[in-house]
Amino acid sequence: MPKRTDINSVLVIGSGPIVIGQACEFDYSGTQACRVLRAEGLRVILVNSNPATIMTDPEFADATYIEPITPEFVEKVIAKERPDALLPTLGGQTALNAAVALAENGVLDKYGVELIGADIDAIQRGENRELFKQIVEKVGAESARSWVCHTLEECLEAVEDLHYPVVVRPSFTMGGAGSGMA
């Protein structure tokens, strides 16, 4: 893949605080991405709510914001720094959720920021259980039987079809938050 000359600055969204056994791979990969992007001559802007990560060391980014990873705050950084691109795929669920919100709210278009690493469609297809299920079925791949439910009544109907035990898992959550067994 040839080097892109139309991108001079990249906003990287980090993963935020790390819980032991969770998300350290995002911290490592994000740090390496910042290092490589700078080595390629790009200006790196970092938003990460974890002050303890090595990613926030001055050598890894040209501008670092240790602030909450929210669409509202990231928009302020975009307005101030005017990056050419946004790279959220190395920041885990929090970064992906922020990127989706920024795209859906028109912020990326407003400031001419390109989403790189994965486009909005790819993120949504991977995170939205209903869209993902449709893709799996369309290509004829095997997967666990499942239902997409939005109400308690739909859940009870699903249980009649699937039988207990069932795994309940929401879309767009981090580390299985909100999941359960019934």
**Cα 119 from Cα 109, distance rounded (Å):** 13
pTM of the full structure: 0.78
Say if residues 78 and 63 touch (Cβ distance below 8 Å): no
**Cα 111 from Cα 21, distance rounded (Å):** 37
Asked: is 9-124 a CATH 3.40.50.20 domain? The reply is yes
The continuous run of DSSP H or E covering 126 comes out as: helix 120-127
Where in the chain are the domains? 9-124, 143-181
- pLDDT digits 0-9 by tens, 141-162: 877 777 777 888 888 888 888 8
- pLDDT digits 0-9 by tens, 26-84: 778 889 999 999 999 999 999 999 887 877 888 899 999 999 999 999 999 999 999 99
